[in-house]
Amino acid sequence: MDLTQLVLSRHSTKAFDPARKISGAVMESVRALLRNCPSSVNSQPWHFVIAASEVGKARIARATGGPYAYNGPKIQNASHVVVLCAKRDLDDAAVAERVAQEMRDGRFAEAADAEKQRASKAFYVSLHRDTRHDLPHWLEKQTYIALGSLLLGAAALGLAACPMEGFDPDVLAQELGLAARGLRPAVIVALGYASLDDWNAKLPKSRLPADVLFTEL
């Protein structure tokens, strides 16, 4: 299947088959995909909580009470559920950790190159913290880059997926102890295989026309 066919065929799954589970090998591909997602200045300001057990999924589903109850069955019936979390801050130690990892991975020929990367990361963190005053928002935006990669990658792996913002982030943060780790939940993705009750699979895709969406210069 080429890229266009893949994009046209994928959809947000509204009902999962609880009897079908994702294999360990396929989940390793999902983890590799998430770990290697791009981010601004390679900031990687994220953490991924993956639930496969019934207990783990039930803990995540606790955040779907009240007006979000419609998302509970998706979480409980999916094979795996991924919570994409964003760091609330990226301090000097976090920047240094990322530069050190880049050095271990052989990205710098000289120490001066590492310093340039550290300065670049620090500049953007300072820009969003001290000038634009939107650091948490900027960090959270990076998780949506990972979200896009995950959804397309899931389709390429033959998996059904459903991204969800319909949950109480405060409830989920408390349930998973995220605040103590400097994290905030951004979006939930259910992964697995669609059931016959997936009504969205039977509907045509609906998108705005190209002439509305694109400006060619």
Residue pair 188/56 in contact by the 8 Å Cβ criterion: no
Q: Which residue type sits at 182?
A: G
Q: What angle do CA 17, 197, 190 make, to 5 degrees?
A: 45
Helices (H), the chain: 3-9, 24-35, 54-61, 72-77, 92-104, 111-126, 135-156, 169-176, 210-213
* Alpha-carbon gap, residue 188 to 185, rounded angstroms: 8
Which of these, 140, 144, 145, lies nearest to 128 by C-alpha position? 140
User: Which residues are CB-contacts of 143 (< 8 A; sequence separation ≥ 6)?
Assistant: 45, 46, 84, 85, 86, 186, 187
Tokens 């995540």, residue located? 60
Instruction: Pull the structure tokens for residue 186.
Output: 């951004």
Which among 14, 57, 87, 121 is annotated as catalytic?
14
Known active-site residue 74 = yes
CA distance 99 to 93: 10
Q: Quick check: is 14 catalytic? A: yes
Q: Which of 57, 74, 87, 121 is catalytic?
A: 74
Which is the catalytic residue, given 28, 97, 115, 165? 165
Q: Is 87 a catalytic residue?
A: no
Residues catalogued as catalytic:
14, 74, 165
